[in-house]
Amino acid sequence: MAAKWSSIVGVSADQPHVRFNPLRGEWVLVSPHRLKRPWSGQVEKGGDEVVPPHDPKNPLCPRAVRANGEVNPDYDSTYVFTNDFPAMPPGAPDLGESGEHHLLRAAKAQGTCRVMCFHPRSDLTLPLMALPEIRRVVDEWANQITELGRSYLWVQVFENRGKVMGCSNPHPHCQIWASSFMPNEPGRSDANQLKYYEEHGAPLLLDYVQLELKKKERIVVETEHWLAVVPFWAVWPFETLLMPRRHVQRFPDLTDSERDGKLASSHISFPSPAPALSPQTSVWP
């Protein structure tokens, strides 16, 4: 949608308006007056499922047998393996780009998909783990991005937690997808950040960090090295954006202090109805 930028100053708390998302290059409709509706939406019950520390039938647990017949090692920290049901199987043939019509185009999608278990216990989540345990997770993220980045154009680490978000296994884990192509979302964000840098001579997110530090209106967590905010253009409930306070190009470039600082940011906790075990999606970097 096309819209001219204008300051949010003077906009009533009940007045509908649009906000610009500079990463996606699009406008977001904000309708705060709809909070006055008599129905506030479906409220799901909290997760009352009891998860045991170890379930021999859970394919992500140590010593468990996975669907392909492989037995997990008796791991005591992080554990990474190739997904048994990958969206992009490694070694897929290069089909090139083809299409019988210019509106019916297809191209190769080569890559690999890995699963990374954070901890041997199934009843823990990242915010409930000890700081040294979280540091090992952060370091393994960096290791995986470095290793896969040598062979693939893009490496994406993400975690879906909870059945509502499409995750059927409660064991603490994430997905690591590496692909020969740039996915739409990071590609759009990369292009918009480059455009911003060419126009303003500074990194977009670094300017945004300084702006939020100055305004102090949407800060969730502020540490020496990190800033977590509810972004001005947020669309998801409890949406947060975690940013380093200096310009960091790649996740593996984080210093030891910054990796330790990320641990405190990983312990972000929200009041009810968003407990530590609530459904969520997290994407790094």
Catalytic residues: 173
What residues have CB less than 8 Å from 175, skipping those under 6 apart?
83, 113, 114, 115, 116, 157, 158, 159, 160
User: Cβ distance 141 to 124 under 8 Å?
Assistant: no
Closest CA to 116 of 81, 167, 168: 81
Contact 229, 212 (CB under 8 A): yes
* Cβ count within 10 A of residue 112: 22
Q: Provide the β-strand partners of residue 174.
A: 116
Read off φ and ψ for residue 106, nearest 5 degrees. Answer: -140, 150
Distance (Å, rounded) from C-alpha 200 to C-alpha 145?
A: 29
SS3 80: strand
- 205 contact partners, CB below 8 Å, separation of at least 6: 193, 243
Say how far apart CA 75 and CA 119 lie, in whole Å: 8
First to last CA, the chain: 28
Q: What is the DSSP letter of 197?
A: H
Is the CB of residue 86 less than 8 Å from the CB of residue 97? Answer: no
